[in-house]
Amino acid sequence: MSRMFEGFTDERIDVGDVELRVRHGGHGPPVLLVHGHPRTGATWHRVAPRLVDLGYTVVCPDMRGYGQSGKAPIRPDHSQQSKRAVAGDMVRLMRALGHPTFAAVGHDRGCYVALRLALDHPDAVDRLVVVDGVPISEALARCDATFARRWYHWFFFAQPDTPERVIGADPDAWYGDKARPETMGVENHREFRQAVHDPATVRAMLEDYRAGLGVDREHEEADRRAGRTVRCPTLLLWTTRDDLADLYGDPLAVWRPWADDLRGHPIESGHHVAEENPVGLTEALHRFLG
């Protein structure tokens, strides 16, 4: 058993279109932790055991396409990697583990999945936490030269074929400056490197962004036209050394039209908060979820 998730079950669960790799453990209220790009479920390895010690059941999957989870056949509109498809996986996963209702926590790209979970499956999600992100449609509606310069990868990744060739030429050079074993932990870093050196995983991660600029944006805009909002209590966290506040001023103002019961605050960390400040993140989650 990996020292990263000692005492956790590590298994593959068939959720329909794909099979998900998932680590889960603990007893108590269930909490789903959804990672971002280009991480795997291992990014939570310092948070998940702490939550278990506080009395939660914790579920850490690799999203479809990412890490060691299955890769769905690519569709022309990239909807196989849409947040709606990934959210459907998560609901089926949690039901398979015996959790028809649960709290959903999403970081980075995972926060879009968590949002989609709360919008599409309101009877399943009883608490929502989003970390370092605003809805995709909101980011695109506010896109300016600063966003385009800092977040150019959103648009580069959406191009056909070229990103795969560029990243595949030297994955360590592409991702290495933001992925160091001394920060991530050796086992987490090893798992991350295995993922980014797998061409099928890299393509699936890029499909996440291609879906983001297309079907995911369309789904969110349809939600806004229909007046659909998140009904459960929602917590927004943003890290002090990332740029959410720089881009949007008050990130809570961006989220207010989306969530009926919203609260939030900054948390001291760089972007990968589960790795950089696991104690602070665990405390913030426990205050909200508890």
Across the chain, what does the average pLDDT equal?
97
Regarding beta strands 30-34 and 57-61, do their DSSP bridges make them parallel or antiparallel, or are they unpaired? parallel
Q: What pLDDT digit, counting tens, does each position of 107-147 carry?
A: 999 999 999 999 999 999 999 999 999 999 999 999 999 99
Q: What pLDDT digit, counting tens, does each position of 268-288 carry?
A: 999 999 999 999 999 999 999
178 band by pLDDT with thresholds 50, 70 and 90: confident
2 band by pLDDT with thresholds 50, 70 and 90: low
89 is catalytic: no
Percent residues over pLDDT 70 in the chain: 99
Q: Is the pLDDT of residue 199 over 80?
A: yes
Q: What pLDDT is attached to residue 125?
A: 98
Q: What is the mean pLDDT of residues 237-263?
A: 97
Q: Domain count of the chain?
A: 1
Residue ranges making up the domain that contains 18: 3-289
Regarding beta strands 102-107 and 125-131, do their DSSP bridges make them parallel or antiparallel, or are they unpaired? parallel
78 is catalytic: no
Q: What is the mean pLDDT of residues 195-222?
A: 98
Q: Is the pLDDT of residue 179 over 90?
A: no
Task: Please report, for the domain that includes residue 220, its CATH number.
Answer: 3.40.50.1820
Q: What is the mean pLDDT of residues 149-158?
A: 96
Q: What is the mean pLDDT of residues 207-226?
A: 98
Q: Is the pLDDT of residue 161 over 90?
A: yes
The catalytic position among 35, 78, 271, 272 is 271
Report the candidate in 172, 187, 180 with the shortest Cα–Cα distance to residue 46.
Answer: 187
The catalytic position among 108, 132, 223, 242 is 108
Q: What pLDDT is attached to residue 1?
A: 38
Q: What is the DSSP string of the chain?
A: --GGGTT-EEEEEE-SSSEEEEEEEESSSEEEEE--TT--GGGGTTTHHHHHHTT-EEEEEPPTTSTTS--PPPPTT-GGGSHHHHHHHHHHHHHHTT-SSEEEEEETHHHHHHHHHHHH-TTTEEEEEEES---HHHHHHT--HHHHHHTHHHHHHTSSSHHHHHHHH-HHHHHGGG--HHHH-HHHHHHHHHHHT-HHHHHHHHHHHHHIIIIIHHHHHHHHHHT--EEEEEEEEEETTSSHHHHHSSHHHHHGGGEEEEEEEEESS-S-HHHH-HHHHHHHHHHHH-
pTM: 0.97
Q: Is the pLDDT of residue 3 over 90?
A: no
